[in-house]
Amino acid sequence: MLTVKPIQSKNEQEELCSLCSATYNVNSFAYRADDGKFIGVCQFRFDNGIGIIEALKYAPDVEDWEAMIIMLRTAMNFMFRCGIDSSYFEPDSSYEELVKRSGYRPNKDGIFEMDIKKFYTSSCH
């Protein structure tokens, strides 16, 4: 069974980011996804009322895009509950398709963005 949980320990967050080749940020929040084994990490922060996804990374030898989307949507939901209206994500090219499947769209500068408020308050999504 898939579980997505917030990472409570900064030591654990740093260890999992390292395992997934993500740059650890002590000032960021993070979630982990597991299904009996570690699947990946999502690290994000708030900056001037905007949610910034810093990393959405698989664990080594894992590729479960559905679990990653669920983990990303969990982070988005947390942002929404905290009053964040929009989110940005600048993925590396290997994660671009995953980010698109999650509902983010590139803006004119090539940075993926989403109106989180609209996503969670519209009748259809």
Alpha carbon of 110 to those of 84, 89, 93: distances in Å? 21, 10, 11
Q: Where are the domains of the chain?
A: 3-121
Give the Cα-Cα-Cα angle 70, 71, 72 (nearest 5 degrees): 90
How far apart CA 26 and CA 42 sit, in angstroms, is 13
Name which CATH class applies to 3-121.
Answer: alpha beta
> Residue 67 in contact with residue 39, Cβ under 8 Å?
yes
Res 68: pLDDT: 93
Asked if residue 62 lies in contact with residue 70, where contact means CB atoms within 8 angstroms, the answer is no
Q: What pTM did the predictor assign?
A: 0.91
**pLDDT tens digits along 79-123:** 999 999 999 987 666 677 888 888 899 999 888 999 999 988 876
Percent of the chain whose predicted confidence (pLDDT) is above 90: 78
Amino acid present at 87: S
